């Protein structure tokens, strides 16, 4: 039996999910009703922020958050090249210029030094990505005095120096894609912030730039989290911390069973409590046991040629792109499965 890369199942929650979905279906409220408001409230409280705005997916969340913190067409936005493509795509969607910075290949996250090398006089925002469930060193990034938009798509529930990922920057974005640590049953996302004005603009932008459906003050989007997804998210949110604990146990088991003899293991950023959305090690010879996750960094993607061609030297990105391999991870990964993966790594690593 091959071990699945995403070893998480919602099987035990299906009866409660079905009941909840039927209740919402009967309610006749499908768009921006009580379920969305209830989830926004619960998720904001969970993170320790004042506002949560539910949107259609994590990519729209980034686009909307960038505009909401004031990024304008022609601005420069600094982001890591080693991330899911959507991070870069959102910068281009708002008309800004992506300036790709490097990462520390041991954490897969940006550092103050890699960002410093990329900041220009035209930079109006920085997007630290909490990649694979790690948390970028946010305290060190405040020195730039620029809005920080955390891409927390992969880091629901992670903490940094005792605060949640998502509560560390000017605004943050989440994805609730089904494979994420906090999943829904399709696409979903959120923008979160402590700033009242950023929240108000994000709220308008998700609904065509309007507060009241009559006056349209911005050209926005139709990008709403829907009632069915919000209902599922409210049901699953109380499980998130327990699930993340199981992911951390699985990571510790990989280590205990000797995986470190066969690959460079993931390193949490100092002060971060990692939530292992993905368990990504470094040893390219393990491709086949696991999956090379981001082999071609964003600045080398064909669609990014205009901004990638004259990108800075990114040696950490090159190293990570060549060597990264995602191994099975999830709340339901068993010790026997981990043993099997470690054995396969032992025979595949030489
Ligand atoms: C780091 C990162 N940013 C952004 C996104 C985009 O989220 P979505 O797929 O919900 O649009 C993802 C999701 O795959 C992601 O992993």
Locate 9 and state its tokens.
């199942």
Whether the per-residue pLDDT at 143 is higher than 60: the answer is yes
DSSP string covering 10-47, please? -GGGHHHHHHHHHHHHHH---BSSHHHHHHHHHHHHHH
What's the 30 CA to ligand 1 centre distance in angstroms?
A: 24
What's the 131 CA to ligand 1 centre distance in angstroms?
A: 10
User: What is the pLDDT, as a whole number, of residue 126?
Assistant: 98
The mean per-residue pLDDT over the stretch 27-53 comes to: 98
Contact 78, 115 (CB under 8 A): yes
Q: How many angstroms separate the CA atoms of 350 and 348, rounded?
A: 6
Per-residue model confidence as pLDDT tens digits over 220-254:
999 999 999 999 999 999 999 999 999 999 999 99
Neighbours of 214 (CB within 10 A): 6
Q: How many angstroms separate the CA atoms of 84 and 65, rounded?
A: 17
DSSP string covering 54-112, please? EES-HHHHHHHHHHHTT--TT-EEEEESSS-HHHHHHHHHTTPEEEEE--BTTTTB--H
What's the 273 CA to ligand 1 centre distance in angstroms?
A: 20
User: What is the pLDDT, as a whole number, of residue 309?
Assistant: 87
Q: Whose CA is nearest to atom 9 of ligand 1?
A: 58
Q: Whose CA is nearest to atom 10 of ligand 1?
A: 58
Give residue ranges with CB within 6 A of ligand 1: 57-59, 83-84, 86-87, 129, 151, 153-154, 175, 177, 187, 189
The mean per-residue pLDDT over the stretch 106-114 comes to: 98
Ligand 1 atom at minimal distance to the Cα of residue 189: 10
Closest CA to 57 of 100, 89, 18, 97: 89
Q: How many angstroms separate the CA atoms of 125 and 128, rounded?
A: 10
Whether the per-residue pLDDT at 350 is higher than 70: the answer is no
What's the 339 CA to ligand 1 centre distance in angstroms?
A: 30
Per-residue model confidence as pLDDT tens digits over 308-321:
988 889 999 999 99
What's the 186 CA to ligand 1 centre distance in angstroms?
A: 13
Ligand 1 atom at minimal distance to the Cα of residue 175: 10
The mean per-residue pLDDT over the stretch 249-268 comes to: 98
User: What is the pLDDT, as a whole number, of residue 310?
Assistant: 85
Q: How many angstroms separate the CA atoms of 3 and 1, rounded?
A: 6
Locate 97 and state its tokens.
């210029």
Q: How many angstroms separate the CA atoms of 49 and 29, rounded?
A: 27
Do the strands 171-175 and 189-193 form a parallel or antiparallel pair, or are they unpaired? antiparallel
User: What is the pLDDT, as a whole number, of residue 349?
Assistant: 66
Tell me which of 54, 175, 183, 187 to substitute to probe ligand 1's pocket, judged by most ligand atoms within 8 Å of the beta carbon: 175
Residue with tokens 């505009």: 67
What's the 57 CA to ligand 1 centre distance in angstroms?
A: 8
Verdict on whether the full-model pTM lies above 0.95 = yes
């Amino acid at each position: 039996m091959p071990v699945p890369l995403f070893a998480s199942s919602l099987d035990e929650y299906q009866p409660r999910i079905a009941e909840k979905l039927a209740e919402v279906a009967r309610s006749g409220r499908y768009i921006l009703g009580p379920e969305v408001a209830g989830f926004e409230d619960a998720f904001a409280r969970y993170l320790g922020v004042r506002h949560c705005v539910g949107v259609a997916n994590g990519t729209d969340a980034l686009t909307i958050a960038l505009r909401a913190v004031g990024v304008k067409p022609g601005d420069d936005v600094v982001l890591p090249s080693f991330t899911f493509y959507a991070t870069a795509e959102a910068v281009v969607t708002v008309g800004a210029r992506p300036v790709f910075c490097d990462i520390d290949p041991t954490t897969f996250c940006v550092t103050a030094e890699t960002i410093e090398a990329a900041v220009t006089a035209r930079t109006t925002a920085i997007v630290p990505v909490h990649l694979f469930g790690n948390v970028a060193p946010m305290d060190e990034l405040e020195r730039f005095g620029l809005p920080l938009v955390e891409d927390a798509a992969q880091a629901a529930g992670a903490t940094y120096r005792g605060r949640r990922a998502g509560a560390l920057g000017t605004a943050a974005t989440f994805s609730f894609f089904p494979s994420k640590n906090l999943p829904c049953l399709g696409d979903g996302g959120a923008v979160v912030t402590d700033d009242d004005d950023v929240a108000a603009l994000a709220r308008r932008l998700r609904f065509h730039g309007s507060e009241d459906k009559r006056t349209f003050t911005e050209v926005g989007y139709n990008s709403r989290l829907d009632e069915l997804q919000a209902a599922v998210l409210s049901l699953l949110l109380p499980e998130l911390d327990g699930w993340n604990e199981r992911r951390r146990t699985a990571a510790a088991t990989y280590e205990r069973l000797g995986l470190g003899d066969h690959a460079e293991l993931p390193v949490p950023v100092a002060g971060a409590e990692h939530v292992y959305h993905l368990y990504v090690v470094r040893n390219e010879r393990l491709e086949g046991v696991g999956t090379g996750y981001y082999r071609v960094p964003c600045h080398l993607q064909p669609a990014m040629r205009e901004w990638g061609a004259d990108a800075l030297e990114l040696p950490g990105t090159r190293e990570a792109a060549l060597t990264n391999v995602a191994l099975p991870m999830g709340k339901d990964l068993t010790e026997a499965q981990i043993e099997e993966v470690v054995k396969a790594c032992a025979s595949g690593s030489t």
